[in-house]
Structure 1
Amino acid sequence: MAFATKKQSSTKARNATANNTDMHLWKYDLRLPQLVDPAADNRDQSILETGRPQKTEPENIKLHPAENPINWPARKKWSSTIILVLMVANIAFCSSIHAATVEGVETTFKCSKIVAKLGITTFLIGLATGTLCFAPISEVWGRLLVFRFTLGLFVCFNAGCALAPNIQALLIFRFLSGFFGSSAVANTGGALADIWPQSHRSVPFALFATGGSLGPVFAPIVGGFISQALTERYVTTLTQPWMMLFTEPILFTLGLYSACIWGILYLNFTAYPFVFQTERKWDQGVAGLSLLGITLGMTIATASSPWIDDIYCAYTKNLKGPKPEARLPHLIFLAWLVPVALFWFGWTATPPTHWMVCISAGVPFGIGFITLFLGANAYLTDCYGRFSASALAAHAVMRLSFSGTFPLFATRLYDELGTPWAASTLGFITLAMAPVPWLFYKYGPKLRSLSKYHIWTLELEETERESE
Structure 2
Amino acid sequence: MAKSLRGQPSRNKILELATEEANDADIPTALGALDKAPRGNLSKIIESGDPSQPAFDGIIEKATRAESLSSEEFQYSPEDEEPNIVWWDSPEDPQNPMKWPFKKRWGTVILVSVLTFLTPLASSIFAPGVPEVMKTFHSTNDMLEGFMVSVYVLGFAFGPLIIAPLSEMYGRLPLYHICNMCFVIWTIAAATASNMSMFIVFRFLMGCFGGAPLVLGGGTIADLISCEQRGTAMVVWMMGPTIGPCVGPIIGGFLTQAKGWRWNFWFVAIIAGSCAVASFLLMSETSAQVILERKARRLREETGNIKLKSRLDSGLSPRDLFMFSIIRPTKMLTRSSICFAISLYCAITYSYLYIMFTTFTAVFQAQYHWHGGVAGLSFLGLGIGSLMGQIVFTKWGNKTAAKHLESGDFKPEHRLYIMAIGGFFLPVGLFWYGWSVQVQTHYMVPITGSGVMGFGLLMTFMPANTYLVDVFTIHAASAMAANTVLRSLCAALIPLSSKKMYAAMGYGWGNSLLGFVALLLVPIPFLFIKFGERIRARDTVKL
TM-score by length of 1: 0.47
Structure having the higher Rg? 1
Structure with more contact order per residue of length (Cα contacts < 8 Å, sep ≥ 6): 2
TM-score relative to the length of structure 2: 0.41
